[in-house]
Amino acid sequence: MTRSLILSLVLVALILPACEQSGPQVARLVPASVGGHAFITLPAKYNTPDGMTLAKDGNIYLCMPNFNDPAYPAKLLKIDANNLVSEVCTLPVHPETNRVCPLGIDQGPDGNLYIADCQAFEVPNVGEPRKGSPDKSRVLRVVLAEGKASKVEVLACGINFANGLACNGDSVYVCDSQVDAKASPVVSGVYRFKMSELKADKPVQVTPGGKDKHLITTFKTVNKDWGVGANGLGFDKAGNMFVCNFGDAQLLKYQMKDGAPVGAGKVFAEKQGMQSTDGLKVDDEGNVYIADFLGNAVHKVDAKTGKVTTLAQNPNTNGANGLLDKCSEVCIRGDWIYVANIDLNLAGNAFDKPYTLTIIPKK
Ligand SMILES: [Ca+2]
Ligand SMILES: [Ca+2]
């Protein structure tokens, strides 16, 4: 090999990473260092990461509601197998509120992505004053063709506080964290929509206040300080449904039959170090991984015993060095758990740079 060829190979090796960064990708992995975790930093235009799902194409799809700096429009992003982040599409705003707040996301059996648009979300003391809009939350479908979004459809509307979302069998399930905004204690629940009834040309109009036929279960949250109920949502391989009761730091488990719960949910895990239960994911063995927004932690709930193990936790931070920064969602890919740091100006936390996803080993 000639010296010039070796030199050019070295140059190519040096130039390649720069080319990747100047392309459509916007962020990449920073390895873990002492006292921290591996992480991905995001630019200011992607300042509020939340819902995630691992799709069949190996990408993690990430909802970016941009609550913290709504000068930037809400987006759907993806994190590829090399941990490069790129944009999939801008999401359509609600015609009456002029905003879209994507939280929960999952891939349906049709390969498309289903997203909960939470119009009730209110973030006090951040940026411009804004109030949530009751009973205007929606279910969206991002139609994917060869990894690209060909269109975004509105499939259902009239939900109060749409949050966690999961596809299972022939249906899409959506948590409503406050079925009735005025009820005390808070009542929340889960809606079930069959894929066959979700049509872009005739969206399902949900009857608000807890009376809709799609509402398959409800429960109460007694925590008056954090009156947010049904949140993270998922299914194990056996078909059991798991729902987080955020304010009461509970994980509820539902036995299912024909796509609907058999009776009320049972408390499968409660507190044991959990201060709240936000987004969840279930692994192939049935263990449940939970983001704890209030506790700024990630927990694992054992599939057999319901015992809670805390995998990562730290006090409020700015998120530097991969530390958790008010996390709200988890996503499992291989041996790793991706954690979205929503970094809301709540519970003693300040919204701050950097904007990050933390990556911790799955155990
Ligand atoms: Ca931060
Ligand atoms: Ca912070």
Tens of pLDDT, residue by residue over 150-195, are: 999 999 999 999 999 999 999 999 999 999 878 889 999 999 999 9
Q: Give me the residue label for tokens 């749409």.
A: 162
pLDDT bracket for residue 220 (50, 70, 90): very high
Q: What is the pTM of this model?
A: 0.92
pLDDT bracket for residue 132 (50, 70, 90): confident
Q: Give me the residue label for tokens 């506790």.
A: 295
Is 22 part of any domain?
Answer: no
Is 338 in a helix, a strand, or coil? strand
Is 256 part of any domain?
Answer: yes
Is 88 part of any domain?
Answer: yes
Q: How far is the CA of 297 from the centre of ligand 1 (A)?
A: 15
Q: For position 351, which CATH number holds? A: 2.120.10.30
Domain that holds residue 224: 37-361
Q: How far is the CA of 329 from the centre of ligand 2 (A)?
A: 15
Is 261 part of any domain?
Answer: yes
Residue-level pLDDT at 121:
78
Residue-level pLDDT at 21:
37
Q: Which ligand is nearest to the CA of 314?
A: 2
Is 6 part of any domain?
Answer: no
Q: How far is the CA of 315 from the centre of ligand 1 (A)?
A: 13
Q: How many domains does the chain have?
A: 1
List Cβ neighbours of 290 (8 Å cut-off, separation of 6 or more).
Answer: 232, 244, 251, 274, 277, 278, 279, 280, 298, 299, 300, 301, 330
Which tens digit of pLDDT belongs to each residue from 223-251?
Answer: 999 999 999 999 999 999 999 999 999 99
- Alpha carbon distance 323, 336 (integer Å): 15
Tell me the CA distances in angstroms from 260 to 217, 255, 265, 281, 297, one per residue in order: 9, 8, 11, 20, 31
Is 5 part of any domain?
Answer: no
**166, two tokens:** 């999961």
Q: Is the pLDDT of residue 10 over 70?
A: no
The residues with which 152 forms a beta bridge, in sequence order, are: 142
Which tens digit of pLDDT belongs to each residue from 138-161?
Answer: 999 999 998 799 999 999 999 999
Q: How far is the CA of 35 from the centre of ligand 2 (A)?
A: 17
Lowest mean pLDDT among 6-15, 50-59, 85-94, 105-114: 6-15
Q: How far is the CA of 320 from the centre of ligand 2 (A)?
A: 9
Is 28 part of any domain?
Answer: no
The residues with which 298 forms a beta bridge, in sequence order, are: 291, 312
Is 25 part of any domain?
Answer: no
Q: How far is the CA of 344 from the centre of ligand 2 (A)?
A: 7
Residue-level pLDDT at 56:
96
Q: How many CB atoms lie within 10 A of CB 352?
A: 15
149-183 as b/e: b if 16+ CB within 10 A: beebbbbbbbbbbbbbbbbbeebbbbbbbbbbbeb
Strands 204-205 and 148-159 turn out to be parallel
What is the number of residues in the chain?
363
Q: Which ligand is nearest to the CA of 69?
A: 1
Q: Which ligand is nearest to the CA of 354?
A: 1
**115, two tokens:** 């997203």
CA atoms within 13 A on the CB side of 318: 6
CA atoms within 13 A on the CB side of 327: 37
Cβ atoms of residues 362 and 337 within 8 Å = yes
What are the φ and ψ backbone dihedral angles of 190, each rounded to 5 degrees?
-130, 130
In sequence order, what DSSP letters do the residues of 139-198 get, joined into one string? EEEEEEETTEEEEEEEEEEEESSEEEEEEETTEEEEEES-SSTT-SSEEEEEEEEEGGG-
